[in-house]
Structure 1
């Protein structure tokens, strides 16, 4: 693939990690998340990727009412932006490493079936929802992210029935292999949309050679973006564009621009715009993103 000339910038607004206590810019309440989405769109993001959090504690949540409020608040502003809702929550399993079935499961577990991760998608019918394409040792310790082939087939089938475009979250090469199997089985439609997620322990490392190998594995008609965590976020924006892909930035993945400089989602998007234009590419509009990703036109 060659350099992408028309780059879709996605802003991942808040995520589910323990970042609320690390930066005052991480949005927590539906009002804050919606406001951050509008600011990111104003800075150049064509897509906003949305998690929600418990407004009282800042902890991650799957409550459909919170998703509804965020989406309604964004739409009330008239902001033109593509809505991408996570459907990855509900896959966390924490076990005792010495006696895995003792006191099973341990606190921190939030594990439900594939279809039970979709109620907010069924209600709100966003442009895009995520589908995390496999299980993973998620960080150090004994926290597993569970997404089995049976769960994925059921989830992909339901997302397809709803007419929502799945963004296929790929944390390692085997997950990309399985996503291609879903396509072969007719559970995904072209153009497939991939998010290549790099540098999350213990998935694919943030290594340019690994990214190139994953890009080489993509289906013929695929659209892809890629991101890496922390200080690698902005270098990875350039890596992705140079390999023909799109860009994801945002406070889900990185809190800083330079050492100790905590910034907002809009500031991260602004830097991604600068990188895109410095490479001779242009930033795609939301309507152009819809066309590239095979989404329905804006209502």
Structure 2
């Protein structure tokens, strides 16, 4: 009888996007806004099982997205002091920020990982206007309406600039955010030029108006295209907006991917039920992964899978 040799269990990385720049304070009482709230929510997500914490900053006074390194300074060191989770700082920032503004915090803190959108795109938030009759802050409806006539800019030149200054210059690796099939081909272009190096961490994003829709067939399409373009040189992850969050993450995990949850991507934990914390969503997807007999990666295992430089090599 042939010897039964079991393969090492695959480890699934859970990322948590703690606050983002899409949702506004009116939409949820539980959306972290102040540095203290972002710190507490990030630490809760890490304790629940998130190996990567994807972080944006908000103005503590009114909750609007801000690229200010001084605001990041108020929570990044506190998070790093109390958890070994990987800190991942956005380079997307928020609407109407220049590339230079979006890089101010990453260039100061030189984190292990940053997000990087792989193309310019329409990014429509304006459909959310009809859901709320009243707003806490005047900036919120204007912010959403402005997305009707706004292009989220990430040109080839912009991407080259970020890869050179933050990637090559700081040793930061990237969560490559791909909102459509064309973004995968853009990433393949940079791989061919040697400006990015494996292992790539590809975040496939579904359900944002302007990007690929939240349809299971598109998940298969994105996976197939990534396999064809990158072979075994990448780690795949899934996120989906709003009500699609958990079912698409589950589908992605079954297909061999990693997962991202968090209040940046969805404000809900179930149908009609608001998530009261990021930890709620992390705990739910972890339960689902456990039921699928999939093991959750620790921060140390995530660092090894993604070839990160380590927390000691950052300026946080």
Alignment match, 2:259:
247
CA distance in 2, matches of 1:10, 1:203: 21
Alignment of 1:209-228 (within 5 A): 209-218=217-226, 219-220=230-231, 221-228=233-240
Alignment match, 1:158:
165
Which blocks of at least 5 consecutive residues in structure 2 are unaligned? 1-8, 127-147
Alignment of 1:180-199 (within 5 A): 180-199=188-207
Alignment of 1:138-287 (within 5 A): 138-139=123-124, 141-161=148-168, 162-218=170-226, 219-220=230-231, 221-263=233-275, 264-287=277-300
Cα deviation, residue 39, structure 1:
0.4
Cα deviation, residue 216, structure 1:
1.8
CA distance in 2, matches of 1:87, 1:196: 17
Secondary structure, counterpart of 2:271 in structure 1 = coil
Secondary structure, counterpart of 1:288 in structure 2 = helix
Instruction: Report if the CA contact (8 A) 1:159-1:166 is conserved.
Output: no
Cα deviation, residue 18, structure 1:
3.1
Instruction: Report if the CA contact (8 A) 1:225-1:246 is conserved.
Output: yes
Deviations along 1:21-66, whole A, 9 cap, x unmatched? 1111110011110111100000011111001100001001000111
TM-score w.r.t. the length of structure 2 is 0.84
Instruction: Report if the CA contact (8 A) 1:171-1:196 is conserved.
Output: yes
Aligned pair partner of 1:73 in 62, 73, 78: 78
CA distance in 1, matches of 2:218, 2:293: 25
Instruction: Report if the CA contact (8 A) 2:122-2:211 is conserved.
Output: yes
- Say which is worse superposed, 18-27 or 8-17, in terms of deviation: 18-27
Cα deviation, residue 256, structure 1:
1.2
Cα deviation, residue 111, structure 1:
4.0
Instruction: Report if the CA contact (8 A) 2:120-2:155 is conserved.
Output: yes
CA distance in 1, matches of 2:300, 2:23: 34
Alignment match, 2:44:
39
Moved over 6 A (4+): none
Q: Does 1:87 align with 2:91?
A: yes
CA distance in 2, matches of 1:148, 1:296: 27
Deviations along 1:98-153, whole A, 9 cap, x unmatched? xxxxxxxxxxxx242x3442121111111100111101111152222111111111
Alignment match, 1:53:
58
Secondary structure, counterpart of 2:174 in structure 1 = strand
Secondary structure, counterpart of 2:27 in structure 1 = coil
Which blocks of at least 5 consecutive residues in structure 1 are unaligned? 93-109
Indicate the RMSD between aligned Cα atoms, in angstroms: 1.4
CA distance in 1, matches of 2:201, 2:165: 17
Secondary structure, counterpart of 1:153 in structure 2 = helix
Alignment match, 2:10:
5
Work out the number of aligned pairs and report it: 276
